[in-house]
Amino acid sequence: MNATSNFRSARSSIFVATTLVLAAFSFSATAQEVSFKLSGDAEVPPVTTSASGTGTINVKPDMTVSGNVTTTGVAATMAHIHIGKAGTNGPVVFGLSRTGDNAWTVPEGTRLSEAHYQAYKAGELYVNVHSAENKAGEIRGQLTPTARSTGSAY
Per the structure, the count of domains in the chain is: 2
Say whether both 14 and 46 belong to one domain.
Answer: no
Reported as a pLDDT band with limits 50, 70 and 90, residue 21 is: very low
pLDDT in tens, 50-86: 999 999 999 999 999 999 999 999 999 999 999 999 9
> Which residues form the domain of 1?
1-30
Is the pLDDT score of 154 beyond 70?
Answer: no
Is the pLDDT score of 134 beyond 60?
Answer: yes
Q: In sequence order, which residues have a C-beta less than 8 Å from that of residue 46 and are 6 or more positions away? A: 40
pLDDT in tens, 84-106: 999 999 999 999 999 999 999 99
Bridge partners (DSSP) listed for residue 59? 32, 65
Say whether both 53 and 4 belong to one domain.
Answer: no
What's the predicted TM-score (pTM) here?
0.78
Is the pLDDT score of 8 beyond 80?
Answer: no
Peptide bond preceding 46 in cis form (omega within 30 of 0)? no
Mean pLDDT, range 129-147, rounded to an integer:
94
Say whether both 5 and 41 belong to one domain.
Answer: no
Please provide residue 122's backbone torsions phi and psi, each rounded to the nearest 5 degrees. Answer: -85, 0
Beta sheet of 92-95, edge-to-edge order = 92-95, 76-83, 125-131, 139-143, 32-39, 52-59, 65-72, 103-105, 97-100
Is the pLDDT score of 153 beyond 90?
Answer: no
Say whether both 106 and 50 belong to one domain.
Answer: yes
CA atoms of 26 and 76, how far apart (whole Å): 39
* Helical H segments across the chain, by residue range: 3-28, 114-121, 147-150
Is the pLDDT score of 9 beyond 50?
Answer: yes
- Greatest alpha-carbon span in the chain: 81
